Amino acid sequence: MLSSFQRWGLIAGGAGLLLALAPARAAVTVEFDIQPRVLHVGESAQAQFTVRGEKRPTTPPLQNLPGLQVSDPAVGSQTTIINGRVDHFVTFTYQLMPTRTGRIKVGPQRYLTGGQSFALAEIELQVLPLNAATDNTPATAGAAGASSLADLVFARLTAEPVTVYQQQSFTIQLAVYFRDINLDRNISLSNWQPEGLSLSAFQELAGTRAVISNQIYNVRQFRCQARALSSGRISLTPTVRGGLVIPRARRQRGGVFSDPFMDSFFDNPFFAQSEIRPIDIDLTPLDITVKPWPAEGRPPNFSGAVGRFTMEARVQPQDVAVGDPVTVTVQLEGQGNLETLAAPVLAASDNFKVYEAKLTSKDVNDTQTAGRKVFEQVLIPRSTAATNLPALAFSYFNPGKGVYETLTRGPFRLQVRPSAAGAVAILKAGELAPTATPEGRDIVYLKPAPARWASAPQGSWLTSPGFWGLQALPLLAVGVTRLISRRRAALSQDLRRARRLRAPRSARAAIRQAEIALRQGQRGPFFEALWTALAAYFGNRLNLAPGEVSFEALAAAAQRAATPPALLERIRRLLAQCEQERFGRATHPEQGAPALPADEGEPLIEELQALLRAFERIRL
């Protein structure tokens, strides 16, 4: 347990540590601002003093201002610690109520605090008469008939500058002015694909107010960066679309459910019902003139860089042996078309073998208009005479001055020693010869003949229509299999239909047995097989149990299906013949079973097949 003394000691220690971390004494700064600066009589503005670096500043005097009623100041203070940096400021806020129209100047004034005196600049307020103001409902504004929609809301598109050079970056600003209406937050641009311009996304700036024709407009401002890709005249005619927020008609009041509390509750803006109607905001087109780069004074190494740039270059190492790589690092920094900026490169020479310059680092802002690019190019000295690396030159067009400027770094001195491995010859590409290739560094020898020589050019079969037609087969198979699978599933649920479909197949097997018996001349097995075929077919076809197949059952079912009597009679005769042969021989075994001649059996098989085919066509 800590004693009270120890606890207070710890608190004091912590506070002391905080004080020790805090800067000894920050410089005192004072800011003074009034917003809004344009207002009507009856509206109030806020004047705010922000004093930084002073814990107990004196209250700034803001009294006896002609044309303004000034309230007592509201005092607030805030301390923030970010990354160990303590920021403490005190604010004094006054409400200013204009009592007359016209321009009212506040200041300039001096403010004394902490023994220091601060000069505060003059701020001018513009106060408009009350009749210039309207209420906030568009319906009222419309009823007054004083303003059209184009007066209430319009947009202006501006460019800075309006005349630019090819590849020059510039700013396009869209300002939407509105008054006496509620404009939805969402504002969109259509038809905003100007050819010949590379555009960044629009960013919204802080809102402001402006006085136009003695009317106060709220202004929403958007800005984007543009770059002209080619010379010519570019006309920007976008359509600005906004949303007009219109309150819906309020509920009828009165009646037994009228309740002042509920009315006021639902009249709360949170519950206010309103609708947004899209409107096209009036906009004057903007024409931009893009001038080509002047031909006069264009340096030969100019590669389309436009803007203002600085260049740094260094060569490392500067003491090398022949054949060792030397890296030239070039850093280009500035404002302009950095995205398309190419490195200034050193050309190949007899003294140096050069590799392509590579971009190793890029740090460009979101709008691609300012930043830094670092390139590296590797060179290899061919001989000890390669001691002088020529100067690097980078030319760009400065649109502000309208002239070409060239930055030059170098030439650079190198100490080139003979190679430790001896004379390593580095050849120019056009001087390659087999005898001159260094040992151990050569191309791989020839490939042996291919195992198979193709008959057609590579890939021709792969893209032939026949090949692709063949690929339909698996899809077809999948489709058919799916149908079979679904049919199986359906049949497993519907036994009657399954047996109906199985009927011809079951008869077919028995007919084959009958044909075998006929070939062997066996009367008994032949008629047994005929009976089996009839029983299997009609049993499955009529969904009968094996023992239930009889002519009576068949006749009853056939009667319902309106089977021709002649067909029934033929079936009856065949069944009777089968039964007679099967059971007649069994009851008189002493008579024996005579052989079955083919001219007796074949008509019976044909008759059986004809009967089954005919019955197959009957819908039961």
Partner 1 sequence: MNPFRPWFGSIRAAALGTLTAVLACAQPAGPDAAVASNEIFQKAGRAYDAGRYGEAAGLYEQLIARGQGPMEVLFNLANARFREGHASAAVLGYRRAWYLAPRDADIRANLQFALDQTGATLPAVTLPARLLQQGSLREWSWLALAGFWLSAALTCGLWLAARRRALLRGLLICSVAALLLGLAGAGYWAGLLRRPEAVVLQPTQALFAPLANATEHFALLAGALVRIEQQSGDWLQIARGRQTGWIPRARCATVCALQSRSTALNW
Strand partners, 167: none
Q: Given candidates 318, 485, 520, 559, which one binds partner 1 under the rule CB under 8 A?
A: 485
Query: Would you say 298 and 404 are in contact if contact means Cβ atoms under 8 Å apart?
Result: yes
H runs (alpha helix) in 338-393: none
Q: Rounded to an integer, what distance in angstroms lies between the CA atom of residue 136 and that of residue 285?
A: 29
Work out how close the CB of 309 gets to partner 1 at its nearest, in angstroms, rounded to a whole number.
16
Could you say which of 147, 182, 215, 340 contacts partner 1 (CB under 8 A)? 340
Task: For residue 285, state whether it binds partner 1 (rule: CB under 8 A).
Answer: no
Site membership for partner 1, residue 2 (CB under 8 A): no
One of 84, 285, 422, 434 touching partner 1 (CB under 8 A): 434
Task: Give the three-class secondary structure for 513.
Answer: helix
**Range 585-604, binding partner 1 (CB under 8 A):** none
Is residue 511 a contact residue for partner 1 (CB under 8 A)?
yes
Lookup: tokens for 432: 């390659």
- E strand or H helix at 535: helix 523-541
Residue 169 CB, nearest approach to partner 1 (Å): 17
Task: HSE, CB side, 13 Å, CA atoms: give it for residue 60.
Answer: 27
Q: Which of 164, 345, 514, 536 binds partner 1 (CB under 8 A)?
A: 345
359 counts as binding partner 1 under rule CB under 8 A: yes
Cα–Cα dist 411/405, whole Å: 18
From the list 94-102, 408-416, 583-591, 608-616, the region that binds partner 1 by CB under 8 A is 608-616
Residue 449 touching partner 1 (CB under 8 A): yes
Host H or E run for residue 479 = helix 472-493
Answer yes or no whether residue 296 interacts with partner 1 by CB under 8 A. no
Size of the chain, expressed as the number of residues it contains: 620
Query: Which helix H or strand E contains 212, and what residues bound it?
Result: strand 208-212
Q: Between residues 134 and 169, which has the closer beta carbon with respect to partner 1? A: 169
Q: Is 441 in the site for partner 1 (CB under 8 A)?
A: yes
**Of 246 and 348, which has the nearer Cβ to partner 1?**
348
Three-state DSSP class for residue 152: helix
Q: How far is the CB of 428 from partner 1 (least distance, A)?
A: 9
Q: Where does residue 505 rank: exposed (0-12), middle (13-18), buried (19+ CB within 10 A)? A: exposed
DSSP one-letter string for 556-609: HHHHHTT--HHHHHHHHHHHHHHHIIIIIHHH-GGG------HHHHHHHHHHHH
Choice from 470, 516, 556, 576 touching partner 1 (CB under 8 A): 470
The sheet carrying 38-40 orders its strands as 38-40, 123-128, 102-106
CA pair distance 599, 427, nearest whole angstrom: 102
Taking CB under 8 A as the rule, does residue 440 contact partner 1? Answer: no
CB of 296 to partner 1, least distance (A): 14
Shortest distance, position 303 Cβ to partner 1, whole Å = 6
Which is nearer to partner 1, 467 or 583 (by Cβ)? 467
| Contact call for residue 541 and partner 1 (CB under 8 A) | no
487 binds partner 1 (CB under 8 A): no
Q: Is 507 in the site for partner 1 (CB under 8 A)?
A: yes
Residues that bind partner 1 (CB under 8 A): 293, 301-304, 339-340, 342, 345, 347-348, 353-356, 358-359, 427, 429-434, 441-450, 452-464, 466-467, 470-471, 473-475, 477-478, 481-482, 484-485, 504, 507-508, 511, 609, 612-613, 616
